Structure 1
Amino acid sequence: MRAAGPAAAGTADPRARSGEEVRTPAIDVRGLVVRYGRVTAVDGVDISSPPGRITALLGPNGAGKSSLMGVLSTASRPDAGSVRIFGHDVRQAPTAARRSLGLVFQERTLDKELSVERNLWFHARLFGMRRADARERITLMLDLFGLADRRRQPVEELSGGLARRVEIARALLHRPGLLLLDEPTNGLDPSARGAVWADLTRLRDELGVTVLYSTHYMDEAEYADEIVIMHQGRVVRQGSAARLKSSLDSSRIVVASGDDRLAADQLRAAGFHPLTEPDGIAVHCADPEGRIADVVRALDVPGLTVSVRHPSMNDVYLAVAQEKRVGTP
C-alpha cells in the first residue's frame, strides 16, 4: 500500500505538515441530543475518538445509532450539544466538516449502469477536485482496493463485496480523515465480510484513517479499538472488547457428559458450585485454565468432554439487555 493516503489531508490541520503533534480529536461529541417531535432519539451522548482509531456503534434497532450517524455525517442537525469532526463544528461549519469525512451508506448508492471508474469521476467532480488530482487519486484508489482491472466494468456486474469496495474507495477519494459506515457488511457473504474488514483495518494501520461504523453483528464489533453500546438513545457501555468482556464474571469451565446430573453431584462434592447451562454443566471461575485439571479429577462420568469458555461480545450485549429489562441503571 502506498504511503500517500487519505488520512494525510483528513486532519485539515496545518500543524500536521509542520511535524507538531496534533491533538484535535477526529470525532468529538458532547451532550448530543436529537429529537423527533416528542421522541428523544439521542439523549446526552458523549463520544470522542483520536485520529487513527476504529470505533463501533452497537445496539438494537431504535437505540439511536442511525440518528447519531446522521448528525456526524451532517445530514441532520442536533437539537442540543456539540459535534465536531477534526475540530469543525457540524452546525457552524458543515461544509468543512463534510470535507473531512467519507460516507458509506447501508443501501447501495453507486450508479449501476456506470463503470467503476465513472462512479469515481462523478464523486471527484462533486467535491470539486481538479482533473489531474482526481485522475491520480482514482488510480491510487483502484490500486489500493484491487480494482484496477475492473475500472471499466459496469457496477451492475460486480459482486456485492466488490461493489462495497468501490463505495469505500469512492468515500476516500477526496482524502477525508474520517470514514463513516452504516452497517458496512449488511447483505454480504462471510468471505466478502472478511475482505471488507481486512480493508478497513489496513486503512487504519497503514494510512491512519479514523473509522466509525454501526453494526448489529457481535463478531464485527471486535474489529474495533473502541465499542460504544447504545440503548434507548444513551451510551450504556463503552470500551475495548477486552475491557467490556472482562467486566463480566462469566469465564467458565463447561462439562458435557452422558450423565450431567451425576457430574453436577460430583462437582459439588469436590467443593465447586456447578450451574446448569444450555450447553452443559458450568463452573464459573476467574482462572478456568488453572482450575480445569481440578475439575477433571473430580469427575467420573461417561462421555466426558471439558472446555473453557470466556465471555464474548454476545455475552456483553445480552448482559446489557438483561440489565435494561430489570431496570438496573
Structure 2
Amino acid sequence: MNALQVSGVGFTYGARQALNDLAFELAPGRFGALLGPNGAGKSTLIALLTRLFELQQGDIQIFGHSLRDEPRQALRQLGVVFQQSTLDLDLSVQQNLAYHAALHGMPRREAQARIDEELLRQDLAERRHDKVRTLNGGHRRRVEISRALLHQPRLLLLDEASAGLDPASRLALGRHVRNLCREQGLCVLWTTHLLDEIESSDDLLILHRGERVASGKAAEFGDLATSFARLTGDEALGRGHVREAIRPNLDTQARRSGFSREHPAEEPQP
C-alpha cells in the first residue's frame, strides 16, 4: 500500500488550470521532494491534500483512505507543516503543543507523554518553557514538526518549510527530516523551489504549470540544475530558483550540451 497516491487530479481557478491530470505515488518511509517554480501548482496540491480545497477531479488516497470518500480516516494519517508559521509567538513551546493536543482531543496524560517524546526527538526539551518568539527560525520549524507529529501520523507534509531560514538552518532541517524517515519509518512530502534542498537519494517529482514533467530518483537526473532548467525553461532562471552558486555550473553545462536560455524547451542538438 502506498503512503500517498494521487490519481488524475485536476483543479481550476475559474478559467485557469492549476493542476492538470496529476498522478504520482509515494511509498511508506520515503522522502519525496516535490520541486517546481512558483506557480507550478505545489500550493494548490497541498491545499487539496489538507482539504482546504475540495477535490474537483480525480482522487487522493493516504494509506489507502480516499480523501473524497473517507476524509476523516485519511486526514488522521496526516501531519502538516505549512509555509507560513502558525505558532502562537507569545505562548511557550509547551503551551503551543498542549493546545494542539487538546484540539485533537488527546487526554492530558497521553498528550504530555507525546509532547515529552517529541521534544526529546527534536532536541528541544530544554526549550519547552521558552516563548516561541525567543527561538530562531530553525528551532521554530522543529516546534512545528513536533506539533505535526503529536498525533503520530504516518505521512508528513512540509510546504516550503525552509522559507526564511539561513543556509545552515535549511541544511540542518533537511537532514533532520530525512533522519525521521530512516529512523521512524515516516513518509515525507517536501515541497520546494530550491535545487540545493534535493539529495540524490530522494524520490523526486518535478511539477511545472500544473503538470508532472518528470519523476524518479533524484540521482537519475544527472546534473539537476540543467535538467530543471530544460524542463521548466526561463521561469526557473528568471525567478531565481537556480541559486547563484549553481548558475556557473549550469551555464557551462548548457553551453556544452547546446542548451540555450533563449530556447529552453528545446532538446540539445546532436
Cα shift at 1:326: 3.8
Asked if 1:225 corresponds to 2:202, the answer is yes
Q: Measured at CA, do residues 213 and 143 of structure 1 come closer, stay the same or move farther in structure 2, by a change above 3 Å?
A: same
Aligned equivalents of 1:54, 1:64: Cα separation in 2: 20
CA distance in 2, matches of 1:129, 1:198: 30
Q: Which amino acid aligns with 2:92?
A: S
TM-score by length of 2: 0.85
Query: Which segments of 5 or more consecutive residues in structure 2 lack a partner in the other structure?
Result: 234-258
Q: CA offset at residue 321 of structure 1?
A: 2.6
Task: Kindly state the Cα deviation for residue 67 of structure 1 after the two structures are TM-superposed.
Answer: 0.8
Alignment pair present for 1:178 and 2:89:
no
Q: Report 1:74-89 matches (<5 A).
A: 74-89=51-66
C-alpha distance in 1, partners of 2:153/2:57? 26
- Return the match for 1:44 from 4, 21, 30: 21
Identity of paired residues, percent?
Answer: 43
Match of 2:225 in 1: 314
Q: Alignment partner for residue 131 of structure 2, among 154, 164, 170?
A: 154
Check if 1:142 corresponds to 2:53.
no
SS at match of 2:18: strand
Structure 2 counterpart of 1:234, from 187, 211, 223: 211
1:192 and 2:103 aligned: no
**What is the aligned partner in structure 2 of residue 265 from structure 1?**
none
Counterpart of 2:40?
Answer: 63
Cα distance per residue 1:85-124 (max 9 Å; x no partner): 1111112222221111100011111000000001000110
Residue 85 of structure 2 aligns to a residue whose secondary structure is coil
In 2, Cα distance between the equivalents of 1:151 and 1:326? Answer: 51
Structure 1 residue aligned with 2:97: 120
1:94 corresponds, among 47, 71, 74, to 71
Separation in 1 of the partners of 2:104 and 2:63?
Answer: 18
> For residue 163 of structure 1, what is the aligned residue in structure 2?
140
Q: For structure 1, list consecutive stretches of 5 or more residues without a partner in the other structure.
A: 1-23, 246-310
1:12 aligns with none
Over 3 Å counting, the alpha-carbon distance change for 1:223 and 1:214 in structure 2 is farther
AA matched with 1:54: F
User: For residues 45 and 327 of structure 1, do their structure 2 counterparts lie closer, same or farther at Cα, with a shift above 3 Å needed?
Assistant: farther
Cα gap change, 1:122 to 1:71, in 2 (>3 Å) = same
Higher relative contact order, chain-length normalized (CA < 8 Å, sep 6+): 2
AA at the equivalent of 2:7: R
Which of 203, 206, 216 lines up with 2:180 in the alignment? 203
- How many residue pairs are counted as aligned between the two chains? 239
CA deviations 1:223-251 (Å, max 9, x no partner) are 66211101111000101111122xxxxxx
Q: Which residue identity is paired with 1:97?
A: A
Structure 1: which amino acid aligns with 2:134? Answer: E
CA distance in 1 between partners of 2:102 and 2:200 (Å): 33
Instruction: Tell me the SS of whatever aligns to 2:212.
Output: strand
User: 1:11: which partner in 2?
Assistant: none
Aligned equivalents of 1:34, 1:199: Cα separation in 2: 33
Indicate the residue corresponding to 2:239 in structure 1. none
Note if contact 2:230-2:266 (Cα within 8 Å) is conserved in structure 1.
no
Distance of 2:18 and 2:31 partners within structure 1: 24
